[in-house]
């Protein structure tokens, strides 16, 4: 069983003339990929009955999904070369909401979207691997509800205690106050994670384990809607790494899954593991898809 911790969202996606309303959020996109791949998965979060019923229909357990009087809402507006987001806060997920079984499971994916996950959840001793999607720990809202990024103390605490950290390039910059993906990855690694993943959109993905800086180039697909691609990447990377402990294989597999998820609006194109495996063969046909560097072992960052 894989436990996903975070709130699903109600998304309003605006991309040119296209307007789509759908359920979203890290745990939902990740849960869909895992369920479609045959994994037992449960979401620990808060929402309304409509969300709960929809999640159950996708083959995802809602045993620890709690009724909320206020759900998270996101409006994603895609304009050339950027995305603007507006949102509304949902309810908090506390340590008491998480069953002991989660901390005895093979894996936990913490997918906070907007400050809803208590950092104590990440700090609690566990048996399996914990992967952290850090975006929800650094997001806050302006007075008009626009999503902004700001480094907070609980973000550093969560990063320090996770096993695998995944952030995008902008989030890495906020967390480290540095520029350059390689530098940010090394600074984040020094905070505590065993593996750091920095996604960079069409520029690909950088993975750092303390010795190797692995860069996967992004596969070429016709992008219809990039919403949730990073969340699919995280779930795909987690399961393939648990199976193989191979960062290169896990990175390519996750990149293919994420690319396929962008070919339709909303959750419609979220693939299965079988489809992602076929995608690796189709989208990565040569060794140039991966480059590996070995940065100096004595690198130190001084704030």
Whether pLDDT at 55 is above 90: yes
* pLDDT mean over 139-150: 94
Distance (Å) of CA 133 to CA 19, 76, 180, 214, 279: 27, 18, 20, 19, 24
Q: Stretch 59-67: mean pLDDT, rounded?
A: 97
For range 111-116, the mean pLDDT: 96
Structure tokens at 295: 């940065």
Residues 205-210, mean pLDDT to the nearest whole number? 94
Rounded Cα distance between 23 and 267, Å, is 8
Q: What is the pLDDT of residue 300?
A: 47
Rounded percentage of the chain residues whose pLDDT exceeds 70:
96
Give the pLDDT of residue 296. Answer: 54
Structure tokens at 34: 């895992």
Tokens linked to 270: 């979220």
The per-residue pLDDT for 223 is 84
Instruction: Indicate if the pLDDT at residue 64 is higher than 70.
Output: yes
Give the pLDDT confidence score for residue 79 in this predicted structure: 80
Q: Find out whether 92 and 29 touch, Cβ atoms under 8 Å.
A: no
Q: Which of 77, 145, 176, 72 is nearest to 115 (CA)?
A: 72
Question: pLDDT class for 243, splitting at 50, 70, 90?
Answer: very high
- Mention the CATH class of domain 2-293: alpha beta
Q: In the Cβ-directed half-sphere of 211, how many Cα atoms lie within 13 Å?
A: 1
Check whether 32 has a pLDDT greater than 60: yes
Mean pLDDT of the chain: 91
For the segment 73-97, what is each residue's pLDDT rounded down to a tens digit? 999 888 877 888 999 999 999 999 9
Q: Are 256 and 283 in contact (CB under 8 A)?
A: yes
Q: How confident is the model at residue 265 (pLDDT cuts 50, 70, 90)?
A: confident
Mean pLDDT along residues 203-226: 88
Average pLDDT over residues 95-108: 97
pLDDT at 286: 61
Bridge partners for 164 per DSSP: 131, 195
Q: With CA atoms as reference, report the closest residue to 68 among 86, 34, 44, 36.
A: 44
Read off the pLDDT of residues 275-294 as tens digits, 9 standing for 90 and up.
999 989 888 876 567 888 87
Using DSSP's 3-state secondary structure scheme, residue 260 falls into helix
Q: Are residues 157 and 123 in contact, defined by beta-carbon separation less than 8 angstroms?
A: yes
Phi-psi region of 301 (alpha: psi -120 to 50; beta: other; left: phi over 0): beta
> Where are the chain's structural domains?
2-293
Q: Which residues pair with 82 in a beta bridge?
A: 79
CB 258 within 8 A of CB 219: no
Cα separation, 76 vs 14, in Å, equals 6
Enumerate residues 6+ apart whose C-beta is below 8 A from 188: 159, 165, 167, 172, 175, 176, 196, 198, 208
High-pLDDT (> 90) share of the chain, %: 72
| Section 240-245 average pLDDT | 96
- Give the pLDDT band (50/70/90) at residue 302: very low
- The pLDDT of residue 144 is above 90: yes
């Amino acid at each position: 069983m894989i436990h996903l911790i975070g709130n699903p969202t109600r998304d309003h996606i605006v991309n040119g003339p296209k307007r789509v309303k759908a359920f979203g959020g890290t745990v939902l996109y990740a849960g869909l990929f895992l369920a479609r791949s045959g994994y037992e998965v449960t979401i620990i979060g808060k929402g309304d009955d409509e969300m709960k019923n929809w999640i159950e229909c996708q083959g995802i357990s809602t045993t620890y999904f709690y009724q909320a009087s206020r759900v998270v809402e996101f409006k994603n507006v895609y304009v050339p070369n950027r995305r603007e987001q507006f949102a509304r806060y949902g309810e908090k997920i506390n340590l008491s909401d998480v069953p002991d079984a989660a901390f005895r499971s093979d894996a936990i994916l913490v997918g906070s979207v907007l400050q809803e996950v208590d950092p104590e959840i990440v700090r609690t001793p566990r048996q399996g691997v914990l992967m952290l999607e850090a975006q929800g720990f650094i997001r806050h809202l302006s007075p008009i509800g626009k999503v902004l990024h700001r480094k907070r103390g609980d973000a550093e605490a969560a990063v320090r205690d996770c096993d695998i950290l995944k952030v995008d390039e902008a989030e890495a910059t906020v967390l480290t106050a540095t520029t350059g993906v390689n530098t940010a990855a090394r600074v984040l690694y020094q905070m505590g994670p065993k593996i750091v993943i920095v996604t960079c959109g069409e520029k690909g993905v950088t993975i750092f384990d303390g010795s190797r800086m692995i860069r996967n180039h992004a596969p070429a697909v016709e992008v219809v809607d990039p919403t949730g691609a990073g969340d699919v990447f995280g779930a795909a990377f987690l399961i393939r790494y648990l199976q193989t402990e191979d960062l290169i294989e896990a990175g390519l597999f996750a990149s293919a899954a994420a690319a396929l998820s962008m070919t339709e609006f909303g959750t419609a194109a979220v693939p299965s593991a079988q489809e992602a495996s076929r995608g690796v063969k189709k989208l990565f046909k040569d060794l140039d898809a991966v480059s590996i560097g070995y940065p100096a072992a004595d690198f130190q960052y001084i704030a």
